[in-house]
Homo-oligomer: A and B are copies of this chain.
Amino acid sequence: MPLTDDMQLVSVDDHLIERPGVWQERLPAKYKDRGPRITEATVEAHDQYGWGQTFAPGTQVWMLEDAVHAQLGLNAVAGKERTELGTDPVRFDEMIPGCYDPAERVRDMDIDGVQSAILFPSFPKFAGTMFNTVEDKELARLCSTTWNDFIKEEWVDPYPDRFIPMGILPFWNIEETVAEVQRLAGLGFRAITFPENPVPLGLPSFHSDHWDPFFSAVEDADMVLCLHFGTSGKPPITAPDAPMAVMVSLMGTNSMYATIDLLFSPVFHRHPKLRVSIAEGGIGWIPYILERADSTWERHRFYQNINQTVRPSELFHKHMWGCFITDEHGTKHRDEIGIDRLLWECDYPHSDSNWPNSRKITAEAFVDVPDDEVRRIVETNARDLFRFPRS
C-alpha cells in the first residue's frame, strides 16, 4: 500500500466560507452598516476575483462599504458532479454545510480521510486582499483582525488538532502588519497567508526594503508565509474572450512568478530563517523553472544587482515548499525537486478538490512511491514546517 492507514493526511490548502454573521456579530457597532454583510443583490454583481463575470440582480452577495461582491460557485462545489459545475454564485442554502460550519467540516474531513487542514479565507480573498480596497482604514484593519479572531475562536479552538491556524494581515500598513504578526504569534498561529506579489495591489515589491520589518517578525515568530496562487489579484488572462479554462490551466504561472521573484530578490539573503509555501501552484514545473533560474544566474548575474554567490535553486531548497493535489509529472520526478520540499493539498471545497475521494485518489497517485516518501509528502513535511505535531 503506498498510502498506509497510519499516515494522516495533512492538507496545507483548504478553504472556509465565512458564515453570514462573522463581521456583523464581531465588528464594533459603529462599523456594522459599512462592514461585510450578506444581502440579496438589487443590482448586477461582479465576481470578486475580477474574472469578468457578472450576475443578475437577486444573487446572494457580500456588501462591504458600498461595493457588491458575488461569490463564485466554483468556490463551493464540494460534492457536486462535474457536469453540474458552473461559475454562478451559490446561495448558502445551496452549499454543503462543511463549507461554512466547522463541525460539519470536520465530519467531511473524516469522510475524506483528511486529518488536519490549513484554511484560506473566501470573502476576504485568499490573502485578505479584499480589505485593501476598504476606504476607511480603521474598518479595513478591523475587518482583517476580525477574520483572525473568528477563525481562532470558531474553527481552531474547538478543533485544535484538526485546523492549523493561519491568519491574514492589514498588509497595506507595515506597522499594523508587524503588530498583527506579533499578536497572532502570541495566539499560536503558525502561518500567514500573504499576496504572491504586492505590486499589482499598489504596494512595494519584494525587491524593496519595505517588507523587511514584516519578514523579520515572521522569522522571529517561526511562522510560515503561504503564497496562494492568484493572490496578486492578477490572474493569467490571455484575452477578454478566452474561456476560463485558459486561466485555470495557467494559474500555476502565477506561482512561477512568485517563486522567481523571491529567488532573485534580497528577501532570503536578509531573512535566512524565512520559509515560504507556494499554495496550489502544483509542482511539475519546479525542476524546469529552477534549471532556468540557475542558467539565467550563471549567464546574467554579472551586470545585475542580484546576489553573486548563491544559486537560486540553492535558495529554493532552503526556503521554499511546493504544494499539490495530484501532479503526475511532479510526483514521478519528485527527486528533482526534493522530497522535503513537497506538501499535499485537499483544496476542499473548491473544484480542484477530490473530496470525498481524496484518500483514494491520493493512494492511487502515490502507487509507485515508497512509503517513507509518501509519509513525508502527505504528513510529516507539513507537521514539521507548521510545527503541528500529531495530537
Contact = CB atoms under 8 A, between A and B. Distances in A.
Contact of A257 (B236, B240, B329): B236
Copies of this chain, complex-wide, total 2
A306 to B, nearest CB: 5
A141 B240 CA distance: 27
A299 B250 CA distance: 15
B249 A205 contact: no
Interface stretch (A78-86, A214-222, A383-391): A78-86
Nearest to A312: B249
A301 B246 CA distance: 11
Given A303-B87, A327-B291, A264 B242 contact: yes
A289 interface: yes
A241 B207 contact: yes
Given A288-B284, A289-B249, A299-B351, A239 B329 contact: no
Contact of A245 (B245, B287, B296, B327): B296
A289 B205 CA distance: 27
Interface in A266-313: 282, 284-285, 287-289, 291-293, 295-306, 312
Contact of A244 (B87, B241, B300): B300
A239 B82 contact: no
Given A205-B240, A282-B292, A287-B284, A306 B245 contact: yes
Contact of A261 (B242, B300, B329): B242
A244 to B, nearest CB: 6
Contacts of A260: 238, 246, 249-250
* A interface secondary structure, majority: helix
A292 B252 contact: yes
Q: Determine which residue in A87, A249, A305 has the highest number of CB atoms from chain B within 10 A of its CB, and name it.
A: A249
Contacts of A241: 205, 207-208
Contact of A291 (B244, B265, B329): B329
Contacts of A351: 299-300
Interface string A217-253: 0000000000000000000101111111110111011
A381 interface: no
A291 B245 contact: no
B250 A238 contact: no
A314 interface: no
Given A250-B256, A256-B253, A287-B329, A205 B83 contact: no
A300 to B, nearest CB: 5
A239 B351 CA distance: 31
A333 interface: yes
Contacts of A199: 238-240
Contacts of A86: 303
Interface of A: 82-83, 85-87, 197, 199, 205-208, 236, 238-246, 248-250, 252-253, 256-257, 260-261, 264-265, 282, 284-285, 287-289, 291-293, 295-306, 312, 326-330, 333, 336, 351-352
* Closest 6 pairs between A and B when the two form their complex, measured CB to CB: A284-B288, A205-B239, A287-B329, A238-B261, A253-B253, A86-B303
21 contacts: A82-B300, A82-B302, A83-B302, A85-B300, A199-B238, A199-B239, A199-B240, A238-B260, A238-B261, A245-B296, A245-B304, A249-B260, A249-B264, A250-B257, A284-B287, A285-B289, A287-B329, A291-B327, A295-B326, A299-B351, A299-B352
